[in-house]
Amino acid sequence: MARKKIALIGAGMIGGTLAHLAAKKEMGDIVLFDIAEGIPQGKALDLSQCGPIEGFDARITGTNDYKDIAGADVVIVTAGVPRKPGMSRDDLLGINLKVMKAVGDGIKANAPDAFVICITNPLDAMVWALREFSGLPHEKVVGMAGVLDSARFATFLAWEFGVSVRDVNAFVLGGHGDTMVPVTSYTTISGIPVNDLAKIRGIAPEKLDEIVKRTRGGGGEIVALLKTGSAYYAPATSAIAMAEAYLGDQKRILPCAAYVDGKYGLDGLYVGVPAVIGAGGIEDIVEIELSDEEKSNLKVSTDAVVELLDACKAMDESLK
């Protein structure tokens, strides 16, 4: 069987980490694309030289030419500008919208059959714009946010409860921003609802509220510490899990920014929902029952996404 081809658009902090992870896992041959000359080529060379030590044969190349992504099975997009301290994800909107136009055109012309995972912020708006510009089917374009946000939630819960992260199944819905909705009612530790285990362990509800708040601000906490950019190890790891689910037809249910048209009362929007990822891309969206409070939190979150989409449409005539 021919090797799979993974194209990474953006060879910055997340792009380089994605390339390393994909190579270590022998997911296929990797093409790193960036507009900055020398960066993708240099990173590709450096990463290739990990091969003899780590024992991978994946071929890693760097390029500034979209033609080199031709025939890619998976495309992961991180091209754009990351947040700096004091900058909201939304401040990035104007800059990264133009980048999505260039990337969408490049994918449309060279890799129209790929499964495309967008990571560029502001996520829910950028994945929507990337889909519009690329013209790919909605089920083949998805945004990475929920896997990361749920992993952050799970990490903080595991620390608080003093349990293995492997036993925490945490759940976050909604847009990728400060209004995201960590859903404690669907979060379990070894199958035990987290609220029940909190009672058993004597963990106060206020402590869980603090964890929810920390999860919502999880990206900003790292930006404030790094000062020159945003998180990249866990974002890259999250997107790799989604790519593996697609390439392996795993039918995993992962929270991702998927296109929702009808379910959750939404009308043609990319937003964080539990989605089944398999060989068909996003094969299904699972609509779970929510409490009134969770519903109203989700509404706040999706309203924020709609506001961003309106701003995108105002900035680019072709999106109307």
Contacts by 217-225 with C-beta closer than 8 Å and gap 24+? 217/178, 218/149, 218/152, 219/83, 219/89, 220/83, 220/178, 223/83, 223/84, 223/85, 224/85
101 binds ligand A3D (CB under 6 A): no
Determine whether the annotation assigns residue 120 to a binding site. Answer: yes
Q: Among candidates 77, 82, 79, which has minimal Cα distance to 39?
A: 79
Tokens at 190, concatenated: 């070894």
Position among 28, 174, 235, 274 found at the interface with ligand A3D (CB under 6 A):
235
Report the nearest approach of ligand A3D to the CB of residue 78 (Å). 4
Q: How far apart are CA 40 and CA 42, in angstroms?
A: 6
Contact residue for ligand A3D among 27, 30, 32, 39 (CB under 6 A) = 39
* Least CB distance to ligand A3D at residue 56 (A): 22
Residue nearer to ligand A3D on the CB measure, 212 or 256: 256
CB of 191 to ligand A3D, least distance (A): 27
* Cβ 155 to ligand A3D shortest distance, Å: 14
Q: Does residue 232 bind ligand A3D (CB under 6 A)? A: yes
Q: Check residue 215 for interaction with ligand A3D (CB under 6 A).
A: no
Q: Which listed residue (6, 7, 8, 12) binds ligand A3D by CB under 6 A?
A: 12
Among 34, 73, 132, 294, binds ligand A3D (CB under 6 A): 34
Residues classed as catalytic: 176
Q: Is 121 in the site for ligand A3D (CB under 6 A)?
A: yes
Residue 15 in marked binding region? yes
Please, which residues have CB within 8 angstroms of residue 175's CB and are 6 or more apart in sequence? 123, 124, 257, 271, 272, 301, 302, 304, 305
Distance between CA 185 and CA 295 in Å, rounded?
Answer: 12
Rounded (5°) CA angle 177-281-33: 70
Among the listed residues 22, 176, 198, 272, the single contact to ligand A3D using CB under 6 A: 176
Burial class (CB in 10 A: 0-12, 13-18, 19+), 291: exposed
User: What string of DSSP letters covers 54-118?
Assistant: HT----EEEES-GGGGTT-SEEEE--S----TT--GGGGHHHHHHHHHHHHHHHHHH-TTSEEEE
Is residue 278 part of an annotated ligand binding site?
no
The answer to the question of residue 155 lying near ligand A3D (CB under 6 A) is no
Q: Which is nearer to ligand A3D, 48 or 96 (CB)?
A: 96
Residues of the shown chain interacting with ligand A3D in the complex, contacts defined by CB under 6 A: 9-15, 34-36, 39, 78-80, 82-83, 96, 99, 102-103, 119-121, 123, 144-145, 148, 176, 219, 229-232, 235
Query: Residues at the annotated binding site for substrate?
Result: 83, 89, 121, 152
